[in-house]
């Protein structure tokens, strides 16, 4: 099998890259180890930056966001028994964020790729990458126990945190930056009408909590928990008691309770792999970086990487110029370290770390008060939350 760009992984990064290349007349093949139904149904992130929504609209993928997406202008931080909202729409002169679940993004992309007759191989794990130092790399894969190979000009690892592509970069040329947080999030989906339309964060001494609207009748909720905690340790009563304690403030609507339909624990990590390219191999999305969910940057960073890479590959084929390709890793890492800074900084600010001294806890409170109570603090949060510019 032969194509111009071999893409490993049919998550948001792989599908978006394939779609963008197709619009420029550049061929690609996506090789995905899971079944198509599984890829389309995975529940993940749910907040899109302004730039991601603009990108999808400009690529003809904005229709369902217009129908189902919930535009957000403000986020409410609750601490000290009070509400401290930041109107990021106002602070940035009109930039928004949208609640639009990742599986809907994947569905939009999968529909577009299928309609265009894209070559997508599902249930086909990639087993090895060869020749990435030369001009004709080969992607080896297996389908029903039968080995196959894809010859291409470029290989893009969109295979997520547990993928194989970054391991094809020689260890002596790679550097891993990693931080594992001493807590996790218990994610909850409840059949309860969201009491508040804004994303609401509870920064409580007992631990962090979040409430966001998933649909007008479904609420997405999170509770800080132990990193190795189990959903079985959390009865419905314990969940609602903790959510009320960490999110409710006097004088404002309390969160609505309802039937809990989903519970799951997510570990928290900040991870960055450098460089994001080697020879004809490029990494995009979770294959190169992981952020804690505070700040909602995982999906949006994957889209930013792909926007830079698609432009660079198009420049290679259309003008025979490779300076954007040569600068891909540096361009993405410059932005990604700012995203890591924002996500890790928020994560540290809003969670309670066991054993922290009173000094550290008061510093956290001062950080929250500065971020929500000053123009500079609100502007800095708002510029980052609605999305930093993408140098594409």
Q: In sequence order, what are the residues at sequence separation of 6 or more whose Cβ sits closer than 8 angstroms to the Cβ of residue 276?
A: 282, 283, 284, 288, 305, 328, 329, 332, 333
Q: Which of 69, 163, 207, 387 binds ligand APR (CB under 6 A)?
A: 163
Verify binding: residue 126, ligand APR, rule CB under 6 A.
yes
Residues 287-306 that bind ligand APR (CB under 6 A): 298-299, 302
Provide the mask over 51-70, with x wherever binding to ligand APR is found by CB under 6 A and - wherever it is not.
--------------------
Burial string for 123-158 (b: 16+ CB within 10 Å, else e) reads: ebbbeebebbeeeebbbebeeeeeeeebebbbbbbb
Residues 344-383 that bind ligand APR (CB under 6 A): none
CB atoms within 10 A of CB 115: 8
- How far apart are alpha carbons 243 and 316 in whole angstroms? 52
Report the Cα 36 to chain-centroid distance in Å: 20
Minimum distance from CB of 293 to ligand APR (Å)? Answer: 7
Verify binding: residue 276, ligand APR, rule CB under 6 A.
no
Q: Is the CB of 166 or the CB of 278 nearer to ligand APR?
A: 166
Q: Is the CB of 12 or the CB of 387 nearer to ligand APR?
A: 12
For residues 179 and 267, the answer to whether their CB atoms sit within 8 Å is no
Q: Is the CB of 163 or the CB of 371 nearer to ligand APR?
A: 163
Verify binding: residue 198, ligand APR, rule CB under 6 A.
no
Nearest to 122 by CA among 261, 29, 1: 29
Q: Is the CB of 255 or the CB of 306 nearer to ligand APR?
A: 306
Q: Is the CB of 157 or the CB of 202 nearer to ligand APR?
A: 157
Residues 7-46 that bind ligand APR (CB under 6 A): 8-14, 31-34, 39, 44-45
For residues 315 and 321, the answer to whether their CB atoms sit within 8 Å is yes
Rg (CA), the chain: 21
Minimum distance from CB of 356 to ligand APR (Å)? Answer: 27
Minimum distance from CB of 199 to ligand APR (Å)? Answer: 16
Nearest to 335 by CA among 261, 377, 284, 287: 284
> Which stretch in 79-87, 162-170, 214-222, 328-336 sits in contact with ligand APR by CB under 6 A?
162-170
**Pairing label, strands 277-278, 281-283:** antiparallel
Verify binding: residue 387, ligand APR, rule CB under 6 A.
no
- How far apart are alpha carbons 301 and 199 in whole angstroms? 20
**Which residues of the shown chain bind ligand APR in the complex (CB under 6 A)?**
8-14, 31-34, 39, 44-45, 102, 125-126, 158-160, 162-164, 285-286, 298-299, 302
């Amino acid at each position: 099998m032969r194509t111009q760009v071999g893409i490993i992984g049919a998550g948001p990064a792989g599908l978006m890259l394939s779609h963008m290349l197709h619009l420029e007349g550049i061929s690609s093949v996506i090789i995905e180890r899971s079944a198509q139904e599984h890829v389309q149904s995975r529940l993940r992130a749910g907040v899109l930056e302004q730039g991601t929504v603009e990108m999808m609209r400009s690529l003809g993928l904005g229709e369902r966001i217009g129908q189902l997406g919930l535009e957000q202008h403000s986020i409410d931080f609750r601490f000290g028994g009070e509400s401290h909202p930041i109107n990021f729409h106002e602070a940035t002169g009109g930039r928004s964020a949208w609640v639009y679940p990742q599986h809907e993004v994947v569905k939009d992309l999968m529909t577009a790729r299928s309609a265009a007759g894209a070559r997508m191989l599902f249930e086909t794990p990639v087993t090895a990458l060869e020749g990435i130092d030369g001009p004709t790399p080969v992607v080896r894969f297996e389908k029903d126990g039968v080995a196959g190979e894809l010859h291409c000009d470029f290989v893009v690892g969109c295979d997520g945190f547990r993928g194989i592509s970054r391991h094809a970069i020689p260890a002596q040329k790679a550097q891993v930056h990693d931080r594992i947080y001493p807590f996790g999030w218990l994610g909850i989906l409840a059949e309860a009408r969201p009491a508040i339309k804004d994303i609401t964060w509870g920064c409580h001494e007992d631990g962090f909590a979040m409430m966001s609207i998933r649909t007008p009748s479904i609420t997405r909720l999170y509770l800080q928990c132990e990193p190795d905690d189990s959903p079985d340790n959390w009865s419905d009563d314990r969940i609602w008691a903790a959510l009320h304690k960490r999110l409710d403030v006097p004088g404002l609507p309390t969160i609505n309770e309802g039937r809990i339909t989903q519970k799951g624990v997510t570990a928290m990590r900040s991870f960055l792999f450098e460089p994001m390219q080697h020879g004809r191999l490029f990494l995009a999305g979770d294959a190169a970086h992981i952020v804690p969910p505070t700040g909602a940057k995982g999906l949006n960073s994957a889209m930013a990487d792909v926007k830079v890479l698609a432009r660079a590959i198009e420049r290679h084929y259309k003008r025979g110029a490779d300076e954007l390709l040569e600068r891909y890793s540096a361009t993405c890492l410059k932005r990604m370290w700012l995203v890591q800074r924002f996500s890790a900084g928020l994560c540290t600010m809003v969670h309670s770390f066991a054993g922290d001294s009173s000094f550290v806890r008061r510093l956290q409170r001062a950080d929250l008060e500065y971020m929500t109570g000053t123009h500079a603090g609100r502007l800095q949060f708002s510029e980052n939350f609605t999305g930093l510019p993408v140098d594409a």
